[in-house]
Amino acid sequence: MIKQRTIRSSIKASGIGLHTGKKVNIEIRPAPPSSGIIFRRVDISPHVDISAHALNVHKTLLSTEISNNDVSVCTIEHLISAFAGMGIDNAIVDIGGDEVPIMDGSSSNYIFLLQSCGVREQDKLKKYLRILKPLQYKEDDRSGEFLPYNGYRITMEIKFAHPVFEKNRHRASLEFSNTSFIKELSRSRTFGFTRDLQRLQEERRALGGSFKNAVVLDDEKVINQEGLRHPQELLHHKMLDAIGDLHLIGYNIIGEFRGYKSGHMINNKLIRKLLDHPESFRIEEFKDNHDLPSGYRTGDIN
């Protein structure tokens, strides 16, 4: 039986928010079956729970932000992507502020935390959302698309008029699994441009940004002393973001996602459009591991 998963024990971490610049403490705890990922604002009395679901996404400017009425948590995408990469369906994230710590700008620190506390199966079947028909959301020259596919594939194409992007590949595809996520995507950091920094800080954003948690580019090159972690780091980070955003659909996806210059807004609008077209998908459960698409089988990601 293909069962849901949560973490085996609680684990704590702290760091600064990329946009607020404030130190935030979090504790990730096990959660009951079918509860999903819940962010609990413990700095508010009484505590406020916010379900990490696409329909609760409130803002998508430079991060994914979820809310419950007027209480919100932003920059959730890297942690959610780590949950997806580890096959974790249910968890509670106690958070002492309104932004998830950025850590090193990737998902690698969160993968380490989740591996440290361990994962356990629960007594309920995992649910999968199978894409049955092509569906696209397009706005200007940006788009996101779901296609039927017996597995989970992420295809991303980006376009930036910048020498670093122009000399590297613009497009990549990934057969999603625990192994491929951890090895190929999880260490890819967020990035930004020096030309945008003053405007962002005037808007009270990127106040916690630094060379420790972002790849920074001037008009010609990467100015971090250590450079890129690998040539496709910036493209892979966009794929990492997409995996986090798409995991907010509430199910494990069987299908292909294709993004062209897509970001948090396009990703969320595509999910909302899919949920508005129930003929385009089917919810499935699997009792036999051999019936699963290969990337979801035991040994990869459940």
| Catalytic machinery residues | 264
- Would you state the torsion angle of the CA atoms of residues 191, 80, 272, 277, taken in this order, to the nearest 10 degrees? 130
Report in angstroms the alpha-carbon separations of 123 from 33, 126, 172: 7, 9, 37
| Helix residue spans in 96-229 (DSSP H) | 108-117, 163-166, 178-180, 194-202
- Would you state the torsion angle of the CA atoms of residues 231, 234, 240, 246, taken in this order, to the nearest 10 degrees? -130
**Residue type (1 letter), 241:** D
Taking the C-alpha atoms of residue 269 and residue 292, their distance in angstroms, rounded to an integer, is: 28
SS3 state at 25: strand
Taking the C-alpha atoms of residue 159 and residue 263, their distance in angstroms, rounded to an integer, is: 12
Q: Which residues contact 123 (CB under 8 A, 6 or more apart)?
A: 3, 33
Burial 269-286 (b: 16+ CB within 10 A, else e): bbbeebbeeeebbeebeb
| Nearest of 296, 108, 113 to residue 213 by alpha carbon | 108
Give the position of tokens 């997409």: 242
DSSP E strands, 71-134 = 71-73, 91-95, 119-125, 128-131
Contact call for residues 83 and 37 (beta carbons, < 8 A): yes
